[in-house]
Amino acid sequence: MDSNRRFLSLKPVLGLVMILTAVPVKVQAAEVEGTVQLSGPIPAPEIMAIESKKGNHSTEGCGSLKKASQKLLVDPMGGIRNAVVWLDLPRETPTSKAVLLDQKECVFSPHVVVVPPGTQVVIRNSDAVLHNIRIFEEGKPAMLMHKWQKPQGSDPWRFDAPGRYIVRCGVHPWMYAWVVVLSGTGSVTSPEGRFTIPNVPPGRYGLHVWHETLGTRQIPMTIGEGKEILNPIRMSRAKNSDEEISR
């Protein structure tokens, strides 16, 4: 009888404990923001003077033949465009949506595409000239794909393995783009060098930066909850050191 009474007196407390343990603690994922900036003098945009050979019509429809080189684009504040920034945090739901890589006035647009493994990239010719698509994996001379592409044509290519791939045009040697296949979570920097990585659970990560001319950096960092605004990540033409980044 005594034990029954004791149980009845504890019942509301036990109920409260059960409710509290049944409700999961919601951890707020962070949105990581930052910029990638160049250390040292800001280079002037490099303009390529493309020759149009007499009798060769391959540049007709390419627009101006004075085109900006895409190798290193830096804004007046030092922001580096087209750097790839990612965390070694596996993507939860890889997208199956196709991504467009267009050719307009004999320039690939965008210049850098970041996709998860298994993504189909549709390469389109929006020009009035013939293009010649060639895909290579970085560091390997052998070609993965080769296709002539008539005006308004489009061809898909599925990128399954993580890595960096170069898409070139065999007719117009200045034309190229990068497809960066990441198993981690990342993005490409804007013309001002800014990037945002959403939905990052709190934790300790390696943050990686890659730029086609400046190379790579790896920085250990800790992400908390809410919005995380990082100090600028510096890249230089000299060796980029790995260091802890503060917030």
Q: State the residues that interact with other proteins by CB under 8 A.
A: 48, 50, 69-71, 134, 136, 138-139, 141-143, 146, 166, 168, 170, 173-176, 212
Q: Which residue's CB is nearer to other proteins, number 32 or number 175?
A: 175
The minimum distance between CB 175 and other proteins, in angstroms, equals 8
Long-range contacts of 138-147 (CB under 8 A, 24+ apart): 138/163, 138/164, 138/165, 138/166, 146/170
Q: Which residue's CB is nearer to other proteins, number 58 or number 136?
A: 136
Q: Which residue's CB is nearer to other proteins, number 175 or number 197?
A: 175
Q: Which residue's CB is nearer to other proteins, number 89 or number 135?
A: 135
Measured distance CA(227)–CA(213) in Å, rounded: 30
Q: Calculate the alpha carbon distances from 132 to 2, 9, 55, 106 in Å.
A: 89, 81, 19, 11
The minimum distance between CB 241 and other proteins, in angstroms, equals 23
Task: State the burial class of residue 12 (Cβ atoms within 10 Å of its Cβ: 0-12, 13-18, 19+).
Answer: exposed
- DSSP, res 79: B
The minimum distance between CB 210 and other proteins, in angstroms, equals 12
The minimum distance between CB 200 and other proteins, in angstroms, equals 30
Angle subtended at Cα 108 by Cα 82 and Cα 237, rounded to the nearest 5 degrees: 35
The minimum distance between CB 67 and other proteins, in angstroms, equals 10
Q: Which residue's CB is nearer to other proteins, number 170 or number 232?
A: 170
Task: State the burial class of residue 189 (Cβ atoms within 10 Å of its Cβ: 0-12, 13-18, 19+).
Answer: buried
